[in-house]
Structures are given as structure tokens and as C-alpha cells.
């Protein structure tokens, strides 16, 4: 059975964004929730959701500031040419290594031949002997 309390009656259970002097141990928090008759898990979930909703405004402002910085300084976020070359070579080597590991072979693939086009010495000999008769 779910125990629910009114949103206004809820007291914050988590110690996130509180002063260090306001921290409580787990046992103290559990005793407080038991005395109030509240569900600690639902309180923690609602605390987390309310904190994330409060942080959403900050994240939107931060994203806007970062996008403005990129718009005004488009080349500032690019790596130096030496770093770009180093990362490109490293990425290529890692790709080739894992591609070959995925194939379970470090040797190149053998070319595919069509069995209809392939002629063996036996079929060639049979054709020449049949033509001579």
C-alpha cells in the first residue's frame, strides 16, 4: 500500500543543498519518517524531482550562455591542429583495431570468387578430352 502525504506537509529528507550542520544520519532520518508516518523512499523521490525542477532554470540559463559563447567564439572550441591530427590518427587506429578484432582476423580478407567463373584443371581437362572425341 502506498503511503502518501500532502506536498505541503513533506519535510525534506535528503541532505542535498543543505548546510553541513543540518545533516542527519540515516537512523535519525528513518526515526523522523517513522514518527511522521511518511514513506522515506517517496520523500526522497519527491525531493529529487523538486530539486531537478529547480535546477532546470539554471541549466537553461547555462545552456544559453554556452551557446552564446560558441556563437561569438566559434573557433575557440576547436582543438589545435596538432591535437586534431593526433586524435584523428588515434581514432583511425582504434577503429581499425576493433574492426579486425571483430572479424577475429588481422589478415586481409580473401577476395570472393564466383564458383561459376572458376575453372579447375579437372574441368579444363574434361572439356579438352570431350572436344577431341
Buried b (16+ CB within 10 A) or exposed e, 13-36: bbeeeeeeeeeeeeeebeeebeee
pLDDT at 117: 65
Cell numbers placing 32: 523522523
Given a cut of 50, the residues of the chain with pLDDT beneath it are 1-3
CA dihedral 61, 63, 69, 74 (to 10 degrees): -160
pLDDT at 1: 39
* pLDDT tens digits, 44-56: 787 788 888 888 9
pLDDT at 18: 59
* Global model pTM greater than 0.75: no
Angle between helices 40-72 and 26-36 (to 10 degrees): 120
Amino acid at each position: 500500500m502506498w503511503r502518501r502525504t500532502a506536498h505541503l506537509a513533506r519535510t525534506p529528507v535528503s541532505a542535498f543543498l543543505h548546510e553541513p550542520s543540518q545533516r542527519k544520519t540515516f537512523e535519525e532520518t528513518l526515526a523522523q519518517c517513522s514518527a511522521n508516518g511518511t514513506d522515506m523512499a517517496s520523500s526522497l523521490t519527491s525531493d529529487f524531482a523538486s530539486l531537478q525542477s529547480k535546477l532546470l532554470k539554471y541549466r537553461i540559463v547555462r545552456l544559453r550562455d554556452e551557446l552564446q559563447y560558441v556563437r561569438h567564439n566559434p573557433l575557440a572550441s576547436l582543438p589545435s591542429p596538432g591535437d586534431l591530427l593526433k586524435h584523428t590518427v588515434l581514432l583511425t587506429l582504434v577503429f581499425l583495431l576493433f574492426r579486425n578484432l571483430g572479424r577475429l582476423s588481422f589478415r586481409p580478407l580473401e577476395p570472393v570468387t564466383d564458383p561459376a567463373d572458376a575453372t579447375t584443371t579437372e574441368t579444363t581437362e574434361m572439356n579438352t578430352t570431350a572436344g577431341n572425341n
